[in-house]
Amino acid sequence: MARILIVVASQDGQTRRIAERLADGLRHDRHEVRLEPATPFPPVAGADGIIIAASVHLGRHPAALVRAVRAHAIVFRHLPTAFLSVCLSAACSRPEQRAEADRYLHDFIDRTGWRPDLAASAAGALTFSRYGPLRASLVRAVARLKGLPIDPRSDREYTDWNDVRRFAEAFSALLAATPARRLAARSAADRGP
């Protein structure tokens, strides 16, 4: 059993739901999981592995998260780590828009200097019930450009929960394959960034 920290940067709640599903999958594999918001960045001491799940808005992940991950990148080298980038582009069927989701993911990795062991993009949701009129109008326009089906009178979830389950399984397998790293990681994490 490993102790896993899942750090969540979620603006409208879908990334949090995805992180909760990851936690459920990892708990099913008998891991102890702690979910924490990204702001302020939680302590990593005692974690055997870390997953960061962050949503993309206006083409970027949160700047505060970029700074926090950059500050912890050295500690993360000693831990099994994963990054899940959540954005609407991951829901698109056109290859150029799927490539956009990959660009967001790689931009985050480049800006932080962190090299997670596992990284993927996941589709998010359109939660019109949480948007004000101006934001709803902007989101409708972006969704139309991406060719996504929308109905501004209701929320629409694009997340592929099977992909989320497979991501959790892959991270659990990564933990099982790196027991020696966990001992070194615990010592490095206890020392801090």
193 residues of the chain, pLDDT tens digit each:
899 999 999 988 899 999 999 999 999 999 999 999 999 999 998 899 999 999 998 788 999 999 999 999 888 988 999 999 998 778 777 787 788 889 999 999 999 999 999 999 998 887 777 777 887 777 777 777 777 777 777 777 889 999 999 999 999 999 888 765 544 545 555 555 5
96 lies in the same domain as 114: yes
Position 88 scores a pLDDT of 78
Angle at 65 between CA 86 and CA 14, to 5 degrees: 30
Position 100 scores a pLDDT of 84
Position 165 scores a pLDDT of 96
Position 125 scores a pLDDT of 82
99 lies in the same domain as 142: no
131 lies in the same domain as 102: no
3-state SS class at 47? coil
Position 64 scores a pLDDT of 94
Angle at 163 between CA 160 and CA 164, to 5 degrees: 90
Position 191 scores a pLDDT of 59
- For residue 85, what are its two tokens? 């980038």
118 lies in the same domain as 145: no
Position 193 scores a pLDDT of 59
Percentages of the chain per state (helix, strand, coil), in multiples of 5: 50, 20, 30
131 lies in the same domain as 73: no
Position 188 scores a pLDDT of 55
168 lies in the same domain as 182: yes
In angstroms, rounded to a whole number, what is the distance separating the alpha carbons of residues 171 and 177?
A: 10
DSSP state of 127: -
Position 11 scores a pLDDT of 83
37 lies in the same domain as 76: yes
108 lies in the same domain as 133: no
90 lies in the same domain as 140: no
Position 178 scores a pLDDT of 74
In angstroms, rounded to a whole number, what is the distance separating the alpha carbons of residues 40 and 29?
A: 28
Tell which phi-psi region holds residue 59, choosing left (phi > 0), alpha (psi between -120 and 50) or beta.
left
Q: Domain range holding 37? A: 3-124+159-191
E strand spans, 106-179 = 118-122, 125-126, 156-157
Position 32 scores a pLDDT of 96
CATH label of the domain that carries residue 176: 3.40.50.360
Task: Please tell me the total count of domains within the chain.
Answer: 2
- For residue 179, what are its two tokens? 């027991």
84 lies in the same domain as 168: yes
44 lies in the same domain as 131: no
38 lies in the same domain as 65: yes
Instruction: Indicate the pTM of the whole model.
Output: 0.85
